[in-house]
Amino acid sequence: MLRIECPCCGLRDHDEFRYGGDASVTRPAHDDPDPQAWYAYVYIRANPAGLHREFWQHVTGCRQWLVVERDTRNHAIASVELARKLAPRKSLARKSPA
Amino acid sequence: MSRYSAFSIFRNALSGQKNWQRAWRAAEPKPSYDVIVIGGGGHGLATAFYLAENHGIRNVAVLEKGYVGGGNVGRNTTVIRSNYLLDGNTQFYEFSMKLWEGMSRALNFNVMFSQRGQLVTAHSADQLDGFSYRANIMRLNGIDADILDRDEVRRLVPYLDFSDTARFPIHGAIFQGRAGTARHDAVAWGYARAADGHGVDIIQNCEVTGFLRDGDSIVGVETTKGRIGAGKVGLAVAGHTSVLGAKAGLELPIESHVLQAFVTEPLKPLVDHVVAYGADHFYVSQSDKGGLVFGGNLDGYNSYAQRGNLGVVREVAEAAIALMPCISRVRLLRHWGGVMDMTPDASPIICPTSIEGLYLNGGWCYGGFKATPASGWCFAHTIATGKPHPLITAYGLDRFSTGHTLDEAGAGPSAWLQ
């Protein structure tokens, strides 16, 4: 069973959490007119076989959104942080691919 | 290559079954090929076979990093059906069904295709209306489809939960009589043997580590067995398309997710069809050995590990018991995981790419097995002519940026929710 060390609640089974997908993509500005930027944000994923930054929400616990760094080959978790501590969003990640 | 027949079985019986030839050669790579297909699974081998059979391109290699049939073609639940709703999918999967119907003869290899029929249970009047809509579209496309009411379902599959206490009472079902199952290993072996018979080199334990370029074009591959030149390269490595795509410089709308499958201890004949549960994600068939073969949802987070998590085992077991209380004490024999390319619309991607000489076949989500022959047929056409086969024009990579997604499930763009 995959277990995530929640900063608020401690080590918990992953089925207490809801997956939120790739945390390394950045939403374009709301008024960004470039369809390529939106295409990249919605669809393009690096999908690495290795370390992956991803959102999880502790839905049956503290309900905090977390950013977890996990190896997709063996599920080893390298780090867990509160997503809101990583705000502003630009600091979350590399720029979107487009 | 000697043909398999009743006579060949008889003749080999006389010599104690000691003189069978191997089914395909253990080829070593030549310096270059007209076409290299990366991935020795069902789709890659079928592509190589149809390149030779339909297009006369026989200087072809299939490169497999492990062994033939060791990936998803040997990890699926072997269901074959063509009950798709959306234009593009409907015709493609029916073409695939027609190829399945002639496959054992075409390959001279018994793939044990068994058209036992598949039904999906409906649990409300609204759901049955939805199924009627689907059945009408199937019939308009010349595909067999029947809508069954509760009594008809009960006559067909009396072992489902028809009691007053069923959590989701069965209202009816959609049924496709030509749907069924096939022996998945035999599909890989049959295509490998038939492709080899046409002169295709099948090279196992040969992992592609990079691409050779001439300017912007791809002109070959780097492998663990050295450099191999190629006029054209086809990717058929669903599950790991992103990994190889990244080496070629492709940005792809794909996430890799693990899907589990299960088989129980052998039982006497119980499940005569393929039965899918309309109130949850669960489907089951019975293998010729007697085991119930079933599956459910994705584990739900990006994964390249070919093993799953126990939470899904519990969810699938719960759905199984809700539909078929009679199997509550059957013991699980094995369960395993396969890595799926999940696309944002749950439909595959087969197309030429923006890179000269590179062709893409991937994004099969969990529908790849039933598509094997049509995928190979259409991908071979695409590689041979440089243009998409008419049946796969809806499967282009550009559909995501142009808004022409083929969202059969209507689940939105999150790959893990498909």
| Cβ contact, residue pair A19, B400, below 8 Å | no
- Structural domain contains residue B15: no
Cα gap B375→B391, rounded to integer Å: 10
| Cα B347 versus chain centre, distance | 12
Q: Which of residues 23-52 of A touch B (CB under 8 A)?
A: 35-36, 39-40, 42-49, 52
* Ramachandran bin of B388, using left for φ above 0, alpha for ψ from -120 to 50, beta for the remaining angles: beta
- Structural domain contains residue B82: yes
Of B255, B310, B400, the CB nearest to A47: B255
Q: What is the mean pLDDT of residues B10-39?
A: 95
pLDDT at B59 over 90: yes
Core vs surface per residue B212-236: b (16+ CB within 10 A) or e: beeeeebbbbebeeeebbbbbbbbb
Same domain, B278 and B250: no
Same domain, B28 and B105: yes
Cα gap B168→B100, rounded to integer Å: 34
Same domain, B273 and B373: no
**For a pLDDT cut of 90, what percent of chain B falls above it?**
94
What does residue B291 show for φ and ψ, rounded to 5 degrees? Answer: -70, 145
Q: Looking at B281, B307, B342, which one is the last position of a domain? A: B342
* Ramachandran bin of B117, using left for φ above 0, alpha for ψ from -120 to 50, beta for the remaining angles: left
Token pair belonging to B117: 């029929």
**For a pLDDT cut of 70, what percent of chain B falls above it?**
100
Which letter does DSSP use for residue A86 in this model?
A: G
Same domain, B129 and B187: no
- Structural domain contains residue B283: yes
- Structural domain contains residue A98: no
Q: What is the mean pLDDT of residues A11-29?
A: 94
| Cβ contact, residue pair B309, A49, below 8 Å | no
In total, chain B counts a number of residues equal to: 418
- Structural domain contains residue B16: no
Mean pLDDT of chain B: 96
Same domain, B187 and B100: yes
Q: Looking at B342, B369, B392, which one is the last position of a domain? A: B342
Residue type, B298: L
CATH number of the domain where residue A80 is located: 3.30.2270.10
Token pair belonging to B116: 């036992």
Domain that holds residue B385: 22-109+183-254+345-417
* Ramachandran bin of B16, using left for φ above 0, alpha for ψ from -120 to 50, beta for the remaining angles: left
Name B115's Cβ contacts closer than 8 Å, sequence gap at least 6.
B101, B177, B178, B179, B180
Same domain, B100 and B187: yes
Cα gap B261→B87, rounded to integer Å: 29
Of B305, B344, B401, the CB nearest to A73: B305
How many distinct structural domains can be found in chain A? 1
- Structural domain contains residue B4: no
CATH number of the domain where residue B142 is located: 3.30.9.10
Same domain, B32 and B169: no
Domain that holds residue A36: 3-92
Cα gap B5→B297, rounded to integer Å: 41
- Amino acid A89: pLDDT: 54
- Structural domain contains residue A53: yes
Same domain, B271 and B173: yes
CA distances from A90 to A27, A39, A65, A85 (A): 9, 18, 17, 12
| Cβ contact, residue pair B413, A42, below 8 Å | yes
3-state secondary structure at position B377: helix
- Structural domain contains residue B205: yes
- Structural domain contains residue B41: yes
Cα gap B252→B161, rounded to integer Å: 43
pLDDT at A86 over 90: no
pLDDT at B311 over 50: yes
- Amino acid B417: pLDDT: 84
Q: Which of residues 49-88 of A touch B (CB under 8 A)?
A: 49, 52, 54, 70, 72-75
Most distant pair of Cα atoms in chain B: their distance? 69
* Ramachandran bin of B148, using left for φ above 0, alpha for ψ from -120 to 50, beta for the remaining angles: beta
Q: What is the mean pLDDT of residues B256-281?
A: 96
Same domain, B38 and B98: yes
* Chain A residues in contact with B415 (beta carbon < 8 A): 21, 45
Q: What is the pLDDT of residues B353-363, one digit of tens each?
A: 999 999 999 99
| Cβ contact, residue pair B311, A39, below 8 Å | no
Torsion over CA: B44, B48, B50, B54 (sign):
positive
| Cβ contact, residue pair A43, B344, below 8 Å | yes
Cα gap B58→B60, rounded to integer Å: 5
pLDDT at A96 over 70: no
What is the least distance, in Å, from the CA of A91 to any CA of chain B?
Answer: 22
- Structural domain contains residue A29: yes
Q: Looking at B342, B361, B378, which one is the last position of a domain? A: B342
How many distinct structural domains can be found in chain B? 2
Name B208's Cβ contacts closer than 8 Å, sequence gap at least 6.
B38, B63, B65, B221, B222, B223, B244, B247
Of B243, B253, B310, the CB nearest to A44: B253
Token pair belonging to B48: 């190589």
Model confidence at A91, pLDDT cuts 50, 70, 90, reads: very low
Same domain, B95 and B136: no
- Amino acid A94: pLDDT: 52
Q: What is the CA radius of gyration of chain A?
A: 14
- Global pTM reads 0.95
Same domain, B82 and B192: yes
| Bridge-based pairing state of the strands B201-203 and B146-149 | unpaired
Q: Please tell me which residue, A50 or B367, carries the higher pLDDT value.
A: A50
CATH number of the domain where residue B366 is located: 3.50.50.60
Closest residue in A to B315 (Cα–Cα): A15
3-state secondary structure at position B96: helix
Same domain, B265 and B392: no
What is the least distance, in Å, from the CA of B68 to any CA of chain A?
Answer: 22
- Structural domain contains residue A64: yes
- Structural domain contains residue B160: yes
Which letter does DSSP use for residue B287 in this model?
A: -
